[in-house]
Amino acid sequence: MNSPSLQRQLIQRLLALVLLTALVSGLLSAWLAFHEARHTQDDLLQQLLQVAERGKLQVDVEDSGAEDALVILPLASAAQWFVVPDGVDTGQGDGLHDGLQELVSRSQPDERWRVLVRSDSGLLVGQRLEVRNELIMDAFWQSFLPLLLLLPLLWWLVGWLIHRSFQPLLQLSAELPQHLSDGEPVPESQRVPAEILPFTQAVNQLFGRQQWLLRQQQRFVADAAHELRTPVSSLQLMLDNLRSLHSADELLQRLPAIQMAVQRLRQLVNQLLDLARINDGSDLVLTDVNLQEWLAAVVEIMLPVADERGIDLGVGQFDDGIVHTDAGRLQRVLVNAIDNALRYSPAGTQVTVSVLCNADWLELRVEDQGPGIAPDMLEQVFEPFVRDNRFQNIPGTGLGLAIVRDIARQLQGEVWLQPRAEGGLCFGYRQPVIEARPD
């Protein structure tokens, strides 16, 4: 199905409007010219009668003929020439009255005359209607015909102007596929009409967003392939080495390392899947979250990990209340933050969790007493697979903070890391809340 042409529709509607306007104005002008010509002819009869009354025109009945366009007669001779349309004899003066009126020729009943009668001077001035109407119609066509002849030129001119006005848009449409295929934005030059410029800017913004997403996707796939290659290769090497074993004892000695490699690979795959699902954003579930119960569940999950590593996990400042948010994703933020703090903190130190909440925002803090990270890495570690080079010996995937950042974007929040003055690192997360109220 072909899409309707905006240019064709605009030409058709404008031409119809121009044609209608021209016809109405032409007919109106012609109608005014028609009536003006009638008044002019009547004024001519008035002027002739005035001249005859002054005696400047010789009234000679014998020299007048029915074929004349104009006649000047005494009223007494009217009966020789005219008959009132209803058949009353004009010779007695019946049927005639002062002023303009129409009479019928006595010799030619189908011929009508426009006459002016003046009884006080006893004169009649007449003009044959056929001649009169010819003069009037000539005036009509002289007024209307030029406009009628200009209509085709006007039709072509309107179409040409609209077509010329659409040329920048047509050229832009022709160039758009080439720009997109070359990875270039649509040029916003002066030849682009002001009405089209917002559309062009919106296309460029969308194109830029798609380009950014494509680069992020390509980078993520490349990083994921690189990160998966190492554990898969390591696991493959361990399995190949099993073929050279000669006893069950040797096999049992190798199994813990294989199990650890499988666990790390599974953790990496699970985090990759989590990151993909979070980027989708379609499974947000907003509910009323009781902060006390929610924090207790998170601490219950992470407390065994802290005990295993000999780290004191505790709660600092806590503002109780109920907020409307995605409990699962908010839990993932805090779990990942605590996991990072426990992973890089030495045994015997403390990790403190704080929850601050008011009517406008919810803030989470996780403070540790670990070695911290380099200042130039505070932003980079939120990218997938980016880790501080000092801790490459510590197991980890480099995806935890990337997942936290994407969750923060979905919940319209922000996340940051900052060094603590007394040593260690502080993780911070803040998001606006739709509703917050005391429990």
- Each residue's pLDDT tens digit, 54-63: 765 554 444 4
Q: Which residue has the higher pLDDT, 257 or 420?
A: 420
Q: How confident is the model at residue 64 (pLDDT cuts 50, 70, 90)?
A: very low
Of the two residues 195 and 37, the one the predictor is more confident about is 37
Q: How do residues 379-432 score in pLDDT, each as one tens digit?
A: 888 887 777 767 766 766 677 788 888 888 888 899 999 999 888 999 999 998
Report whether 344 contacts 393 (CB < 8 A). no
- Domains along the chain with CATH numbers: 1-183 (no CATH), 185-280 (1.10.287.130), 287-437 (3.30.565.10)
Task: Tell me the pLDDT tens digit for each residue of 85-127.
Answer: 765 444 444 567 788 888 887 777 778 888 888 888 888 888 8
- Rg from Cα positions in the chain: 51
Whole-number pLDDT of residue 353: 95
Q: Name which of 377, 366, 357 is nearest 292 in CA terms.
A: 357
The pLDDT, as a whole number, for residue 63 is 43
Lowest mean pLDDT among 118-122, 248-252, 342-346, 362-366: 248-252
pLDDT at residue number 68? 54
Instruction: For the chain, give the mean pLDDT.
Output: 76
Q: What is the pTM of this model?
A: 0.49
Q: What is the 3-state secondary structure (H, E, C) of the chain?
A: CCCCCHHHHHHHHHHHHHHHHHHHHHHHHHHHHHHHHHHHHHHHHHHHHHHHHCCCCCCCCCCCCCCCCEEEEEHHHHHHHEECCCCCEHHHCCCCCCEEEEEEECCCCCCEEEEEEECCCCEEEEEEHHHHHHHHHHHHHHHHHHHHHHHHHHHHHHHHHHHHHHHHHHHHHHHHHHHHHCCCCCCCCCCCCCCCHHHHHHHHHHHHHHHHHHHHHHHHHHHHHHHHHHHHHHHHHHHHHHCCCCCHHHHHHHHHHHHHHHHHHHHHHHHHHHHHHHHHCCCCCCEEEEHHHHHHHHHHHHHHHHHHCCCEEEEEEECCCEEEECHHHHHHHHHHHHHHHHHHCCCCCEEEEEEEECCCEEEEEEEECCCCCCHHHCCHHHCCCCCCHHHCCCCCCCCHHHHHHHHHHHCCCEEEEEECCCCCEEEEEEEECCCEECC
Q: pLDDT at position 175, please? A: 67
pLDDT (tens digit per residue) in 221-240: 665 665 566 566 666 777 77
Question: What letter represents residue 172's amino acid?
Answer: L
pLDDT at 91: 46
Q: For residues 247 and 417, which has the higher predicted lDDT (pLDDT)?
A: 417
Burial of 113: CB neighbours in 10 Å, binned 0-12, 13-18, 19+: buried
Q: Hunting for tokens 């080495």 — which residue is that?
A: 241
Q: Alpha carbon 375 to chain centroid distance?
A: 44
Cβ neighbours for 256, distance < 8 A, ≥ 6 positions apart? none
pLDDT at 352 over 90: yes
Under the banding of pLDDT at 50, 70 and 90, the label for residue 369 is very high
State the pairing for strand pair 312-318/350-357: parallel
pLDDT for 248 beyond 50:
yes
Q: How many Cα atoms within 13 Å fall on the side-chain side of residue 29?
A: 15
Q: Is the pLDDT of residue 66 over 50?
A: no
Q: What Cα–Cα distance (Å) separates residue 238 from each residue in 233, 234, 260, 268?
A: 9, 6, 11, 18
**pLDDT for the residue numbered 61:** 41
pLDDT confidence of residue 115: 85
Rounded Cα gap, residues 293 and 323, in angstroms: 12
Q: What percent of the chain has pLDDT over 90?
A: 15
Q: Between 197 and 281, name the one with better pLDDT.
A: 197
pLDDT tens sequence across 159-212? 787 777 777 776 766 666 666 666 666 665 555 666 666 767 777 777 777 776
Predicted pLDDT at 89: 47
pLDDT beyond 80 at 336: yes
Looking at per-residue pLDDT, the higher value among 290 and 151 belongs to: 290
Retrieve residue 27's tokens.
Answer: 């007919």
pLDDT of residue 181: 63
Which two three-digit tokens encode residue 12? 């058709």
Could you tell me the pLDDT band of residue 292, with boundaries at 50, 70 and 90?
A: very high
pLDDT for position 282: 55
pLDDT, position 24:
79
